[in-house]
Structure 1
Amino acid sequence: MLNPGTSADPAVTPANHRCEPYLRLHWTDSHTDAVGYLVVHNLRGGLATGGTRMRAGCTLREVEDLARGMANKTATFDLPIGGAKGGIDFDPKDPRAVEVLERFCEAMRPWLDTHWVTAEDLGVPQHLIDQVFEKLDLDQSYHAAIRRSADPAATLARVRGGLNAAVDGGFLLGDVIGGFGVAHACLAAAVQWGQAPADTTAAIQGVGTMGGAAAYYLSEAGMKITAVADAAGTLYCPAGLDIPALLELRDGYGEIDRSRLPAGIEQMPRGDIVSADVDIFVPAAISYAITPDNSFDIRARVVVEAANAATTPEAEAMLAARGIPVLPDFVANAGAVAWAWWLLLGEVDDVPGTSFDRLRTTMHNKVAQMLSAWTDEGITPREIGHRWADDPAPLTGPVVIP
Structure 2
Amino acid sequence: MRTGNRSTSAAAVTHPSRPEPIMRIEWTDPVTHTVGYLVVDTLVSGMATGGTRMRPGCTLTEVEDLARGMSAKTAMFDLPIGGAKGGIDFDPKDPRADEVLERFCDAMRPFLDRHWVTAEDLGVPQHRIDAVFARLGMRQSYHAAIERAADPQRTAERVMAGLCAHAPGGLLGDVIGGYGVAQACLAAAQNWNWDPARCTVAVQGVGTMGGGAAWYLHDTGMKVVAVADAAGTLFDPAGLDVPALLDTRDEYGEIDRTRVPAHVERLPRDVVLGVEADFLIPAAVSYALTEANCDQVRASVVVEAANAATTPHAEAALAARGVAVVPDFVANAGAVAWAWWLLLGYVGSEPQDSFDRLRAAMHDKVGTLLRAWQPGTGTLRAVAELLTASKAHERANTTITVP
TM-score (norm. length: structure 1):
0.94
Q: Which moved more, 1:60-69 or 1:185-194?
A: 185-194
Residue 132 of structure 2: aligned partner: 132
Shift of 1:204: 0.3
SS in 2 for 1:39: strand
**Per-residue CA distance 1:299-354 (angstroms, 9 max, x = gap):** 11110000000000000011111111110000000000000000010000000000
Contact 2:44 2:395 in 1 (8 A): no
Check the 8 A contact 1:370/1:380 in 2, yes or no: no
Partner of 2:265: 266
Query: Which residue is equivalent to 2:320?
Result: 321
Distance of 1:172 and 1:258 partners within structure 2: 25
Post-superposition offset of 1:376 = 9.1
Secondary structure of the residue that 2:281 maps to in structure 1? strand
Aligned partner of 2:9 in structure 1 is: none
1:121 equivalent to 2:110? Answer: no
Deviating more after overlay: 218-227 vs 362-371: 362-371
Greater relative contact order (Cα < 8 A, sep 6+) = 2
**Residues 1:285 and 2:284 aligned together:** yes
Name the CA distance, whole Å, in 2 between partners of 1:110 and 1:398: 21
Alignment-derived partner of residue 91 in structure 2:
91
* Aligned residue identity for 1:281: L
1:373 Cα deviation from its structure 2 partner: 1.5
Q: Aligned partners of 1:321 and 1:66: how far apart in 2?
A: 25
Q: Where in structure 2 are the equivalents of 1:198-347 lying within 5 Å?
A: 198-347=197-346
72-81 or 149-158: which moved more?
A: 149-158
Whole-angstrom CA distance in 1 between matches of 2:197 and 2:283: 22
Residue of structure 1 in register with 2:5 after alignment: none
Q: Does 1:49 align with 2:49?
A: yes
Asked if 1:36 is matched to 2:36, the reply is: yes
Task: Give the corresponding residue for 1:371.
Answer: 370
Structure 1 match to 2:382 = 383
Q: SS where residue 323 of structure 1 aligns?
A: coil
Deviation at 1:259, TM superposition (A): 1.2
Contact persistence 2:324–2:375 (CA under 8 A): no
* Other-structure match for 2:145: 145
Task: Please tell me whether the aligned partners of residues 294 and 314 of structure 2 are also in contact (alpha carbons under 8 angstroms).
Answer: yes
Using the alignment, how far apart are the partners of 1:76 and 1:144 within structure 2? 22
Q: Corresponding residue for 1:112?
A: 112
Which amino acid in structure 2 is aligned with residue 214 of structure 1? A
User: How far did residue 388 of structure 1 move?
Assistant: 2.1
The aligned counterpart of 2:20 is: 20
Question: 1:396: Cα distance to partner?
Answer: 5.0
Q: Which amino acid aligns with 2:178?
A: G
Output the CA distance in 1 between the equivalents of 2:104 and 2:116. 13
Q: Distance in 2 between matches of 1:349 and 1:206?
A: 29
Separation in 2, partners of 1:151, 1:348: 18
How far apart are residue 399 of structure 1 and its match? 2.7
What is the Cα-based RMSD across aligned positions, in Å? 1.4
Counterparts in 2 of 1:225 and 1:397: CA distance versus 1, 3 Å:
closer
CA distance in 1, matches of 2:93, 2:139: 25
Shift of 1:378: 4.0
Structure 1 regions of 5+ residues with no counterpart?
Answer: 1-14
Residue 102 of structure 1 is matched in structure 2 by 102
The one-letter code of the counterpart of 1:49 is: T
Residue in 2 aligned with 1:357? 356
Which residue is 2:195 aligned to?
Answer: 196
**Count of residues paired in the alignment:** 387
Q: Tell me which residue corresponds to 2:171.
A: 172
| Distance in 1 between residues matched to 2:16 and 2:142, nearest whole Å | 23
Deviation at 1:391, TM superposition (A): 2.1
| Separation (CA, whole Å) in 1 of partners of 2:186 and 2:329 | 17
- Contact kept, 8 Å, 2:44 with 2:397, in 1: the verdict is no
User: Greater CA deviation, 382-391 or 33-42?
Assistant: 382-391
Q: Name the CA distance, whole Å, in 2 between partners of 1:376 and 1:43.
A: 33
Aligned to 2:73: 73
Residues 76 and 113 of structure 1: CA distance in aligned 2, closer, same or farther (over 3 Å): same
- Tell me the amino acid that sits aligned with residue 95 of structure 1: P
Deviation string 1:124-162 (CA, Å, 9 cap, x unpaired) is 000110010010011100011110112211211111011
Distance 1:221 1:86, change over 3 A: same
Q: Distance in 1 between matches of 2:379 and 2:219?
A: 29
